[in-house]
Structures are given as structure tokens and as C-alpha cells.
Amino acid sequence: MSVQVARHVGEVLDNLSSVTGATLLAGGTDLLVEINFGRARPATVVAIDRVAELKNLERNGRVRMGALVTYTRMLDDDPGSPALREAARTVGSPQIRNAGTLGGNLGTCSPAGDTLPVLAALDATIVLRSAKTERRLRFGEFMTGPKKSARRPDELIVAAEWDDAGPAQTFMKVGTRNAMVIAVAGLALVVDRARKRVGAGLGSCGPTIIRAAEAERFAEGLFADAGWERASRPSDAAAKEFGRLVAAAAKPIDDVRGTAAYRRHVLAVMGARALARVAAIA
């Protein structure tokens, strides 16, 4: 296995365009598991962890998070999304959080990737660059299936961008234990009071991350009635209905981590709790 250590984005892009099958290595917390279990055997690995440009985190009305921002930095620096910080706190162990990156979560594109429901709820844009061009895809266009994305082999994920949506956000995850756990179900809820929009992203509940569109419209009606700028408290019936709509949007399966019925149940519970939590944050 040949390993190239890139220092600049240009070097990464040259390798991706000239070496067929070149595989990027960021924190290695997914890729090395694949290699160790014999599920991947790339002839050429391009290590990108020294590329400074990919570590930038900018916040100026719009947030731009470089692909190499780690979970630890999402916790220590202000990541421009409270839900993303909550999601980062649930990822792996301190060692995994020190090494694992946003770009690696997007590169693997698992329905259980914990940053992905947040990016969906934020309606984030994924920035992809090749030696020839740069393109931007909305998260819903980027993720196309379980561990499948619209990223072309010669493209580097450079960053994710989203509107700074304010503090009314949360992320919840249910697993079979409290730490070092793959989500049985996850939910990110973002209420952008200034732009009058609600985003709800569901993880581990379908082949891709799912946006619960009907639940979003229902919640937008509630916030419009309560006054978008004001903290409020949804009625128990409204919170329950929101949870029901969240669960109805899921396309879960039975697998080793949980049954489809259990996933729907926890989504309904998380939905009701998440709505009550974010409604109280002005």
C-alpha cells in the first residue's frame, strides 16, 4: 500500500485525478477499521490530515466548517450549531473524537453517522472540489443511500456550510448503551426563528438520513401561532402529534441494533421531547 502525505488541497486533488482508486485518509477511524477487517485494500492512500485549509471553521451569519474539523473541536470551539455540538458529544470515546472528522463522517455516509441528521436539519450544503471544478450539493442531494453519496471518485469533500440558525436546536440519540454506541435512532431538530423554518433530520431510521417534512410543516404552524421570536411551550397534544409525524416519516428496518417498531417508538418519544426542548429556547 502506497501512502502519500498531502500538505495542500492541490496535492490531494492531483492525486485523486491521476491515481485510480486513490483513497483519502483523514482521522482513519472508519478507514482503518475497514482495512483491518479486510473489507478495504486500497493500493494508494492519500493522508489529508496535514492540509491546513481543511481545518478552517468560519462563522459570519453563515457557518463554514472545514472537512478536517474533529469532534473535539466541535465541542471545544463554537461549531455554529448547538445540535452539532450535542451530536459530537455522543460520538465514540475521547480518542475517536480527537481523530474523527466531519469529512470522514460524510465520506463514510452511514445512516448512523451522527453529524448527518444535524446537517440535514440545518439544510447544509456540502462543498466538493475536483482538479477541474467545485460544486455545492444540498445534503439531501449528497447522500444517496446507505454508505453511498453523490461524491465522485476524483472529488474531495472540502467543507459543509449552513445558515447560522441560532440557539433553538437539539440532537437526541438512542443506543443500546450510553457511550461508544452506534445510534439505534437519532433525531436533530433545528428551529431557525429568524428565517421562520424548522428542520428535522432522522438518523438510523432508513437507507438515508430522512427529513420529516410533514412534522416540519406542523411545527412551523405551531411557531407561527406562538410568535416565531418568543419562547413557548407546546401543549402535550401538540408535542405528541409532532412525535407521531416524526415517527411516520421513518423507514426503519429490523436489525441487530433494534426492531423497526422500537425505532418508531423512540422517534415518537424523542420528537415530542425535542419539540418541547427547542420551543423553550428563544
Ligand X SMILES: Cc1cc2nc3c(=O)[nH]c(=O)nc-3n(C[C@H](O)[C@H](O)[C@H](O)COP(=O)(O)OP(=O)(O)OC[C@H]3O[C@@H](n4cnc5c(N)ncnc54)[C@H](O)[C@@H]3O)c2cc1C
Does residue 118 interact with ligand X by CB under 6 A?
Answer: no
Q: Which member of 33, 43, 52, 231 binds ligand X (CB under 6 A)? A: 33
The β-bridge partners of 64 are 58, 161
What is the three-state SS of 55-89?
HCEEEECEEEEECCCEHHHHHHCCCCCHHHHHHHH
Does residue 9 interact with ligand X by CB under 6 A?
Answer: no
Q: Whole-number minimum distance, CB 245 to ligand X, in Å? A: 25
175 or 252: CB nearest ligand X? 175
Does residue 66 interact with ligand X by CB under 6 A?
Answer: no
Q: Whole-number minimum distance, CB 104 to ligand X, in Å? A: 2
Site residues for ligand X, 142-171, by CB under 6 A, read 156-157
Q: Which member of 80, 82, 111, 113 binds ligand X (CB under 6 A)? A: 113
Q: How far apart are CA 57 and CA 254, in angstroms?
A: 38
Q: How far apart are CA 267 and CA 253, in angstroms?
A: 13
Do residues 138 and 209 make contact, with C-beta atoms less than 8 angstroms apart? no
Does residue 91 interact with ligand X by CB under 6 A?
Answer: yes
180 or 280: CB nearest ligand X? 180
The β-bridge partners of 46 are 4, 24
Binding residues (CB under 6 A) for ligand X: these are 23-31, 33, 67, 90-92, 96, 99-101, 103-105, 107-108, 113-114, 156-157, 180
